[in-house]
Amino acid sequence: MGLRVIIFAIAALSLDLILGQTGLVSFGHALYLGIGAYVVGILADAGVESGFVQWPLAMAISALLAAALSVVALRTSGTFFIMITLAFAQMMFYGASSLYEYGGDDGMHLAVRSTFGGLVDLYDSRQFYYVALGLLVVLAALNIRLTRARFGMVLKGIRINERRMAAAGFPTFRYKLVACIISAAVCGLAGAMLANAAEFVGPQYMDWTRSAELMIMVVAGGLATPFGAIIGALAYLGIEKYLSDLTIHWRLAFGALLILLVFLGRGGLSALFAPGAARQAAPAHKGSFRWARPFFRPRA
């Protein structure tokens, strides 16, 4: 359970870069989770077991695919951007479902977990857990550093008012493109880890519902906050596990909790742990994310 939380926290952290920092609402982000998983599965099936090859290649292919798709998707905005990312994800979903050599709709069992020349044994759950935890800590630190750098400040400016940033001379399209590529590469890494953890690869990893789950994690944890995506992943998967053990109708109770959070929350769950930081992160200007402030509280 802890390993699953860490892997999805990494995926949610990657989504926060484009959703929370840049303001790009993508319903196709899980596409790269599936790509990373399939790269590991296909290479393992071909006899390439080295994680030093599989994991970087999963990140590279995810980044290249994101570059190609984002060049098209970023020429749209708003609802059209949401729809085109959803369309790309579903195209890849059905493409993966037609890979009958690798299980088709049913997916395939991972032939062997990634090997690292004897340095790490992923069949040892404790070692795998600490490798994943170490990667999460490194990526979270890099995310904080990135968002506080000039690059991150430009992304925030694009989220607030892209026309003004373009008028100031910033190539906003390039900044958004780079953000999408970085985000996809990190999500591809999460996909490679997920394939090893589950010892299974299937098209359901890249279904649009998986993208929606990642989005819920980010929003619930707190958009554009240092640890919001991590907290959101922990809360989402933890509550899901707890409620599913209580009743088969757990999704109904889970949905009610999400509705309460959207209506009453300010800055997501991260506001409970760092109220000051959450208030700073939540945009208070006109045209910002509607869910960044509560519905039943007057504006300051």
- Going by C-beta distance under 8 Å and a sequence separation of 6 or more, which residues neighbour residue 258? 216, 220
Please tell me the predicted confidence (pLDDT) of residue 292.
41
> Which tokens in the block code for residue 244?
């599913």
Residue 2 DSSP symbol:
H
Please tell me the predicted confidence (pLDDT) of residue 276.
52
Please tell me the predicted confidence (pLDDT) of residue 245.
86
Please tell me the predicted confidence (pLDDT) of residue 279.
47
Please tell me the predicted confidence (pLDDT) of residue 274.
58
Q: What is the mean pLDDT of each run of 10 residues along the chain (300 residues)?
A: 94 94 92 96 94 96 96 92 93 92 91 92 94 96 94 94 93 96 96 95 92 91 89 91 86 84 74 55 42 40
Please tell me the predicted confidence (pLDDT) of residue 273.
62
Please tell me the predicted confidence (pLDDT) of residue 222.
87
DSSP result, 29-78: THHHHHHHHHHHHHHHHTT--BHHHHHHHHHHHHHHHHHHHHHHHTTS-T
Pairwise CA distance, residues 43 & 230, whole Å: 29
Please tell me the predicted confidence (pLDDT) of residue 33.
96
Please tell me the predicted confidence (pLDDT) of residue 283.
45
Please tell me the predicted confidence (pLDDT) of residue 19.
93
Ranges assigned E (strand) in the chain: 108-109, 200-201
Please tell me the predicted confidence (pLDDT) of residue 176.
96
Please tell me the predicted confidence (pLDDT) of residue 266.
67
